[in-house]
Amino acid sequence: MHDDRVPFAQSFPSLSPLVIVHADDALVAIDKPAGLLSVPGRGADKADCAAARVQAQFADAQTVHRLDMATSGLLLFARGAAMQRAVSVMFESREVGKQYDAVVEGLVGHDEGEIDLPLLADWPRRPRQKVDRLQGKPSLTRYRVLHRDPATRTTRLALQPLTGRTHQLRVHLLAIGHPIVGDALYGTSEAPTAPRLMLHATKLELRHPLTAQTLTLSSAAPF
């Protein structure tokens, strides 16, 4: 088992080497940098991705969930088909605890709350998503204020998505009037300048598929 946060060298010069947060016979977790795809996109220019980099060292690593290209933080892979099935079921049945840190526009009024708004793909403006109360899929996000900064009129939030819809956190926060700083899709022209989307996957918690013990993985936000 290898639990140290150490980088491994790859033949992908475009970004810094990935950091392995955890690796054992069942699972591999990395700290994905912002700007790297989770899985390959369409076209040869989008072949470089977290999955390819992990598979260069762990050939049996399989995708079980994704992060947006602009989002950084914890990304988990399962080793082999059996582990992929087991862990995928955990994600689908909401047995995996997930937490994110975000910096959003404006000063959020309530110290904590829930955003319960159904989401649907905004087909004319793909890849955007939108709130659709009639046809959208149920989507639930919990939030907690970590810090308010009156000088920049921003708020740092801890976010817990109870569902896993595409762009869920980004659209939910936009819907309550507090888009994430640095969001090229959903941000506003009044937003503070940021070099990236200020969203980071900070925590994953799940039952280990081999030991049945609780595994908690953490990554501090780099902003």
Catalytic residues: 68
Q: Which residues lie across from 208 on neighbouring strands?
A: none
The token pair at 33 is: 């940098």
Q: Which residues lie across from 116 on neighbouring strands?
A: 140
Dihedral class, residue 142 (left if φ above 0, else alpha if ψ from -120 to 50, else beta): beta
The DSSP call for residue 83 is H
Residue 44 CA to residue 36 CA, distance in Å, equals: 15
Handedness of CA 1, 22, 162, 49 (dihedral sign): negative
